Structure 1
Amino acid sequence: MSEDQKKILESQLWGIANLLRGKISADDYRDYILGFIFYKYLSEKQTLYANELLVGEAVTDYKTVTDKETLDAIKEESLLKLGYFLEPSQLFSVLAAKGNADIESESNYILEDLKSVLNHIEQSTMGTESEEDFNALFEDLDLNSTKIGRTVGARNEIIVKILNYLDKIDFKLEEIDSDVLGDAYEYLIARFAAGAGKSAGEFYTPQQVSKILSKIVTTGKSKIKSVYDPTCGSGSLLLRVAKEADVSEFYGQELGRTTYNLARMNMILHDVHFREFNIVQEDTLENPQHLDKRFEAVVANPPFSAHWKSDANPLFNTDERFSQYGRLAPKTKADYAFLTHMLYQLADNGIMASVFPHGVLFRGAAEGHIREYIIKEMNALDAVIGLPANIFYGTSIPTCIMVLKKCREVDDNIVFIDASGEDHYIKNGNQNTLRDEDVERIVDTYRKRETIDKYSYVATLAEIAENDYNLNIPRYVDTFEAEEPVDLDVVSAQLKGIETDLQSTNETIAGFCAELNISTPF
């Protein structure tokens, strides 16, 4: 039943985008739609929890509570349980109703009230455990922005339209599994990513790729103490791991402010308690925030071949994340900087799985030196998985997944999987998409460490060394399809038959030409 509910909810929520299409660009209304869905969620969550506290009291409907002592008690409990507090007059439904008032009377102006409520949500957490998780959470909802309307009246009209539409949707928080609304929210993020072009890769990893990474890092485990993503985007990859195993703590770091806000909203909307996640906004390579921790699962989709300031910061030469390899990743290609950072943060019993461009498998110089050290000295590389081209938003380049462990159970070989062939994905508009069966085959092959003709190969470390630690997948997985042998006798007979047919046709044409008393064309 929850699957049906989710599809209905997805359709309803995406309807807002259709409502605004042509009035505001998708890039502009994305943050407003996602932000107001989150505000409605917080309001409904507050109402449900407050009503639980009011059971047995004289007033049992939170929306009608006016007694200050009662409100203070509810606020105290809400800050502990929910991490924030909303008064009855600040609930989503109240503002939506005001916005739906008679337009002629101008009493439907709600922008200032809405600004005040969003600020209050953040301010209610000040001095509490959840302050960091709610700080400046709604800063991207600029209600004065001309992007949503050139005049105050035009902006108010757009905001009222969004709130009224959302107010008619019942989130049914008391009935449905928390993942239903969370997954519907993820669906919206994915839809926005699909239309966002190059910037989409900054905040969203395609769901099927997320499945592969999360299934790999949870191999053999039903519970994970902690999962970490150093470039967490909207947090979708972290949350995907929680679908494969019980996760106690989520950690992430994200550079982009808007995306960082989205990640925190996504966590809370998936009913992850504020004490269970720690997501911070900082440059992971320049200013890592969790270096004192080691994580049982590490997943990531870092920016491909990003620039970093390796040559401008001499401290990197002594940084424990990079110094043992003897070389730093090139300043124009930070892929191995991210990789070694993640490996540093990985627990001894953990698994790391991350997406990279294919160049990390074979590029030489400093990258080749680091790659050799990881394989030869650390024996940390467990698998290399080639993915189809054009499966990521904003780029068509082929990519791969590298799987690493500090303490490998099978420590004398590396599994190579080539899932890039046309038989291993389907076309979906402009994108290539992995099917569920493609995902399962990749994960199953990794776990069983099988050699499968034209698909996978288990290479010994000696073979890797013979190839000078070049990990280019075609060196190990032979996908060459031999052509059918040609029978020259059959071809010769076919040619003779064609010649006979041609001669007969020419004679027929010559006869027609004679009847018409014209010369033949040959």
Structure 2
Amino acid sequence: MVTKDFTKDTKELIDNLKGICASYGLGNDGNEFKIITQVFLYKFMNDKFGYEVKQLEPKLKASESWEQEIAEYTDAQYEMLLMRLSPDSAQLKREHFLSNLHNKQNTEEFAKLFDDTLRDIAIFNNEIFSVKTGTGAKITLFDELSNYITDRSQRDNFCRAVINQLVNFSFEKIFHQKFDFFSTIFEYLIKDYNKDGGGKYAEYYTPHAVSKIMASILVDKPVNNVTCYDPAAGSGTLLMNLAHAIGEDRCTIYSQDISQKSSSMLRLNLILNNLVHSIQNIIQGNTLLTPYHKVGEKLMTFDYIVSNPPFKLDFSDYVADLDSKQNHDRFFAGIPNVPNKDKDKMSIYLIFIQHIMFSLSAKGKAAIVVPTGFITAQSGIEKKIREKLVESKMLRGVVSMPSNIFATTGTNVSILFIDKTNTKGDIVLMDASKLGTKIKEGKNQKTLLSPDEEDLIITTFNKHEAVEDFTVVVSYEDIKAKNYSFSAGQYFDVKIEYTDISPAEFETKMTGFKTNLDKLFAESSGLEIEIKKQLASLQFNV
């Protein structure tokens, strides 16, 4: 009940912050995203700091106001307290506390004090919380948020409204919660932000069911000290599910995404889910053109890779750079041609699949969302990739998902599972397209899988069970014989039902068939005569 009520209260806080933005002319503005997520993060960090120092100092925990109690510390005592915090914890000066801003909100130029406080927190924690770009520049935690209010006379009031909304709310009761709680909060927090003008967040968010299935199939036994990577990370939903399945303290996250907004979302997701130690590995940049994660001059390889790459995107500006001798091994199947029209329909996902295959460690595993058409294409780059997966004996299986599992696209999708240790075969091909319940989400139709259906997919796949009209378990030779098709339906047995009937029943059925045929032939003959008659009556009019 505590978590249910708190989830409700947290969503109400988010809605209230959005209401403040709307009141000051920022409703559905592109900058609203930055304000909401950064204010939310500031409040979370403030409360997490209070929670952690209370664990270190019993007298702070017993105090009615830990901020007032800590104000009595000498500078040396406070410095010692900061040194005792976890290396992954936010470091706050006493003037950074939310209570300090609340007490000073009636001072002149309060907006400047607000911005200066957030900027100083970012500088003070730059080494822990900064996201890097591909060139090494650092993207700090906070912007000067009041500057998004164009009317300077309203900036102080805006910042006061934000602070007053935060001061009556506390995260402290739920810091013992884990991924499932914060994933719900995070989903709600970002749900309205995709493009600059607002809208849905499909480019950043993979449905929970898809993420859960990918992680649960990849991580089918306990592992420790492993690396996890997403080359097109978005908000990090896939990585968070994967880390949760492994254990947040038993893995290190690596990512790259060309979008600064995505990188900021992923950073927030890592902070919420106790994965701060991986923030240094979040890179904003072009994965295909300038992959960042390397060991020396060679690309780094990873134990687990998850990806829901963009399917169609114009990358014609750097095709020549990708199609080079240097990239020959990485893009072994080739680069899609640049069409004369509709360059935005270039199949960029085929490049990502090849990059992922190249980036797997010797025992690496991967799960990739692909268009279902990929698994049966009879030529081109698609087939070359499938052939490579079979000939290199690194295919684990495919799950074909229900239509509209993504509400914002009508493209049917499948999940491709790769495992470099699956040399003996035993490949699972699953047709889960008939599962799920269709609902309306706005103007779009969406298919939802129930928890039982999610578990059915995961359990059946991991047990390598063959279930009639649902799964088949095949060998590499079986797949070669089917022209490298990864579609389960092409391997299902065609069943002919036999029914025992008597000679009299057989004769009755045959008589019925003959009678029906005679009737159809008679109708056909009459229709033929009528058509000829109509044709004969046609005349040419000048």
TM (normalized to structure 1)?
A: 0.79
Task: Give the direction of change, closer, same or farther, for the CA distance of 1:286–1:113 in structure 2 (3 Å limit).
Answer: same
Which amino acid in the other structure matches residue 267 of structure 1? L
> For 1:165, what is the secondary structure of its paired residue?
helix
Q: Tell me if structure 1 keeps the 8 A contact 2:129–2:141.
A: no
Which amino acid in the other structure matches residue 447 of structure 1? N
| Displacement after TM superposition at 1:90 (Å) | 1.6
Alignment match, 1:514: none
Alignment match, 1:513: none
> For 2:210, what is the secondary structure of its paired residue?
helix
Task: Give the direction of change, closer, same or farther, for the CA distance of 1:207–1:39 in structure 2 (3 Å limit).
Answer: same
Alignment match, 1:172: 172
Listed as ranges, the gaps of 5+ residues in structure 2 are 339-345, 498-507, 513-542
Q: Tell me if structure 2 keeps the 8 A contact 1:416–1:458.
A: yes
Task: Give the direction of change, closer, same or farther, for the CA distance of 1:315–1:139 in structure 2 (3 Å limit).
Answer: farther
Listed as ranges, the gaps of 5+ residues in structure 1 are 102-106, 483-487, 493-522
Are 1:213 and 2:225 an aligned pair? Answer: no
| CA–CA distance in structure 1, aligned partners of residues 208 and 283 of structure 2 | 23
Task: Choose which of 18, 32, 37 in structure 1 pairs with 2:35.
Answer: 32
> For 2:428, what is the secondary structure of its paired residue?
strand
Alignment match, 1:356: 370
Alignment match, 2:461: 446
> For 2:319, what is the secondary structure of its paired residue?
coil
Task: Choose which of 301, 314, 321 in structure 2 pairs with 1:307.
Answer: 314
Alignment match, 2:233: 232
| CA–CA distance in structure 2, aligned partners of residues 435 and 194 of structure 1 | 26
| CA–CA distance in structure 2, aligned partners of residues 229 and 308 of structure 1 | 19
Worse overlay, 461-470 or 60-69: 60-69
> For 1:407, what is the secondary structure of its paired residue?
coil
> For 2:405, what is the secondary structure of its paired residue?
coil
Alignment match, 1:47: 50
Q: Tell me if structure 2 keeps the 8 A contact 1:355–1:400.
A: yes
Task: Map 1:174-193; keep pairs closer than 5 Å.
Answer: 176-179=176-179, 182-189=182-189, 191-192=191-192
| Displacement after TM superposition at 1:375 (Å) | 3.2
Task: Choose which of 95, 100, 109 in structure 2 pairs with 1:94.
Answer: 100
Task: Give the direction of change, closer, same or farther, for the CA distance of 1:108–1:479 in structure 2 (3 Å limit).
Answer: farther
| Displacement after TM superposition at 1:91 (Å) | 1.3
Alignment match, 1:417: 430
Alignment match, 1:251: 254
| Displacement after TM superposition at 1:51 (Å) | 4.6
| Displacement after TM superposition at 1:185 (Å) | 3.1
| Displacement after TM superposition at 1:340 (Å) | 1.8
Residues 287-311 of structure 1, C-alpha deviation per residue, up to 9 Å, x if partnerless?
1122433322211111113333563
Task: Choose which of 350, 359, 366 in structure 2 pairs with 1:345.
Answer: 359
| CA–CA distance in structure 2, aligned partners of residues 481 and 124 of structure 1 | 73
| CA–CA distance in structure 2, aligned partners of residues 481 and 302 of structure 1 | 41
Q: Tell me if structure 1 keeps the 8 A contact 2:311–2:349.
A: yes
Alignment match, 1:270: 273
> For 2:396, what is the secondary structure of its paired residue?
strand
| CA–CA distance in structure 1, aligned partners of residues 178 and 169 of structure 2 | 16
> For 2:240, what is the secondary structure of its paired residue?
helix
| Displacement after TM superposition at 1:471 (Å) | 3.1
| Displacement after TM superposition at 1:6 (Å) | 4.7
Alignment match, 1:318: 326
Task: Give the direction of change, closer, same or farther, for the CA distance of 1:404–1:153 in structure 2 (3 Å limit).
Answer: same
| CA–CA distance in structure 2, aligned partners of residues 32 and 9 of structure 1 | 19
Residues 392-428 of structure 1, C-alpha deviation per residue, up to 9 Å, x if partnerless?
25322111100011120641x432211122x433425
Are 1:4 and 2:7 an aligned pair? Answer: no
Q: Tell me if structure 2 keeps the 8 A contact 1:449–1:458.
A: yes
Alignment match, 1:285: 288
Task: Give the direction of change, closer, same or farther, for the CA distance of 1:60–1:312 in structure 2 (3 Å limit).
Answer: closer
| CA–CA distance in structure 1, aligned partners of residues 98 and 369 of structure 2 | 40
Q: Tell me if structure 1 keeps the 8 A contact 2:119–2:142.
A: no
Are 1:163 and 2:178 an aligned pair? Answer: no
Worse overlay, 455-464 or 30-39: 455-464
Task: Give the direction of change, closer, same or farther, for the CA distance of 1:316–1:409 in structure 2 (3 Å limit).
Answer: same
| CA–CA distance in structure 2, aligned partners of residues 254 and 163 of structure 1 | 32
Q: Tell me if structure 1 keeps the 8 A contact 2:128–2:276.
A: no
Q: Tell me if structure 2 keeps the 8 A contact 1:6–1:183.
A: no
Alignment match, 1:203: 204
Residues 240-267 of structure 1, C-alpha deviation per residue, up to 9 Å, x if partnerless?
1232222321111121112101211211
| Displacement after TM superposition at 1:120 (Å) | 0.8
Task: Give the direction of change, closer, same or farther, for the CA distance of 1:435–1:137 in structure 2 (3 Å limit).
Answer: farther
Residues 82-110 of structure 1, C-alpha deviation per residue, up to 9 Å, x if partnerless?
454222222123224444x5xxxxx4753
| CA–CA distance in structure 1, aligned partners of residues 58 and 159 of structure 2 | 35
| CA–CA distance in structure 2, aligned partners of residues 270 and 137 of structure 1 | 19
Task: Give the direction of change, closer, same or farther, for the CA distance of 1:435–1:52 in structure 2 (3 Å limit).
Answer: closer
| CA–CA distance in structure 2, aligned partners of residues 197 and 443 of structure 1 | 35
Task: Give the direction of change, closer, same or farther, for the CA distance of 1:2–1:108 in structure 2 (3 Å limit).
Answer: farther
Alignment match, 1:427: 439
Task: Give the direction of change, closer, same or farther, for the CA distance of 1:467–1:109 in structure 2 (3 Å limit).
Answer: same
| Displacement after TM superposition at 1:207 (Å) | 1.0
Q: Tell me if structure 2 keeps the 8 A contact 1:388–1:425.
A: no
Alignment match, 1:475: 490
| CA–CA distance in structure 1, aligned partners of residues 209 and 166 of structure 2 | 29
Which amino acid in the other structure matches residue 242 of structure 1? A
Task: Give the direction of change, closer, same or farther, for the CA distance of 1:226–1:356 in structure 2 (3 Å limit).
Answer: same
Task: Give the direction of change, closer, same or farther, for the CA distance of 1:383–1:199 in structure 2 (3 Å limit).
Answer: same
Task: Give the direction of change, closer, same or farther, for the CA distance of 1:371–1:114 in structure 2 (3 Å limit).
Answer: same
Which amino acid in the other structure matches residue 25 of structure 1? G
Q: Tell me if structure 1 keeps the 8 A contact 2:305–2:367.
A: yes
Task: Map 1:114-125; keep pairs closer than 5 Å.
Answer: 114-125=114-125
Task: Give the direction of change, closer, same or farther, for the CA distance of 1:395–1:163 in structure 2 (3 Å limit).
Answer: farther
